[in-house]
Chain A
Amino acid sequence: GAVVSQHPSRVICKSGTSVKIECRSLDFQATTMFWYRQFPKQSLMLMATSNEGSKATYEQGVEKDKFLINHASLTLSTLTVTSAHPEDSSFYICSASRGGGQPQHFGDGTRLSIL
């Protein structure tokens, strides 16, 4: 099956630090990658949609300067949380899709804790 690797799985850092999260599709070329945020016992909130070689499309209310997304290749997308603060603490999950109505395949998520 399709495998998506997300790294790191957990980050604990001080307020003001910038944190980069990587999302890789290991065995398929992902036309589109997605970044979600999930609060405890809640659903996934789509943050942005990332297409290879073009700028990400952010959902309403998501600050693009705060959450920098780079989709440099068909197998790699990165999310950088810039100058992170405690309110940015959350579970961030990426997914990748081949497109054409195919299901999304998810990484295992990154638990971000800002002290």
Chain B
Amino acid sequence: SQQGEEDPQALSIQEGENATMNCSYKTSINNLQWYRQNSGRGLVHLILIRSNEREKHSGRLRVTLDTSKKSSSLLITASRAADTASYFCATDGGYGNNRLAFGKGNQVVVIP
């Protein structure tokens, strides 16, 4: 069943602006991961945040996790045209075998 569920969003921003997207989930998690998917391609892992972490940074990416609200956010700073993609959160419920439940995805378009 879907655990990571973000409201599907279509976000259109100008290059250089920041892009923020959210994710909510329903059950307890071991970790939450964000992935990027370019059109017609596979997914690329961006960042993993564990249930005992509240914030994590990786380059221009900043992820927050609020386990009390069962939500996470992904911030992309100083966006570039190459950031145009769909972004998915996925939750690992810790049941073993790394099984993930993916959210609905956020379509981000960065206008040059």
Determine which of B30, B33, B101 lies in contact with A46 in the assembled complex, contact meaning CB atoms within 8 Å. Answer: B101
Q: In this complex, which of A32, A43, A111 has the most chain B Cβ atoms within 10 angstroms of its Cβ? A: A43
On whether the beta carbons of B97 and A43 are closer than 8 Å, the reply is no
* Stretch in B13-21, B41-49, B52-60, B70-78 with 4+ CB within 8 Å of A: B41-49
Q: In the assembly, what is the distance between CA of A43 and CA of B40, in Å?
A: 13
Which A-chain residue is minimally distant from B5 (CB atoms)?
A: A43
Interchain nearest-CB distance for B62 vs A (Å): 18
On whether the beta carbons of B102 and A107 are closer than 8 Å, the reply is no
Interface residues of A in 29-65 (CB under 8 A from B): 31-32, 34, 41-44, 46, 49, 51
On whether the beta carbons of B102 and A32 are closer than 8 Å, the reply is no
Contact flags (1/0) for A12-24 with B, using CB distance below 8 Å? Answer: 0000000000000
Q: Is B25 interfacial (CB 8 A cutoff)?
A: no
A-B contact count (CB 8 A): 61
Residues on B with beta carbons closer than 8 Å to the beta carbon of A108: 41-42
Determine which of A4, A42, A46, A109 lies in contact with B100 in the assembled complex, contact meaning CB atoms within 8 Å. Answer: A46
Residues on B with beta carbons closer than 8 Å to the beta carbon of A43: 2, 88, 102-105
The interface size bin for chain A is 20 to 34
Which A-chain residue is minimally distant from B97 (CB atoms)?
A: A32
On whether the beta carbons of B41 and A109 are closer than 8 Å, the reply is yes
The 9 A-B pairs at the shortest CB distance, nearest first, are namely A106-B42, A103-B45, A106-B43, A108-B42, A97-B98, A44-B102, A43-B102, A43-B104, A109-B42
Q: Is B67 interfacial (CB 8 A cutoff)?
A: no
On whether the beta carbons of B103 and A106 are closer than 8 Å, the reply is no
Q: Is B31 interfacial (CB 8 A cutoff)?
A: yes
On whether the beta carbons of B88 and A44 are closer than 8 Å, the reply is yes
Residues on B with beta carbons closer than 8 Å to the beta carbon of A6: 42
Which A-chain residue is minimally distant from B98 (CB atoms)?
A: A97
On whether the beta carbons of B31 and A101 are closer than 8 Å, the reply is yes
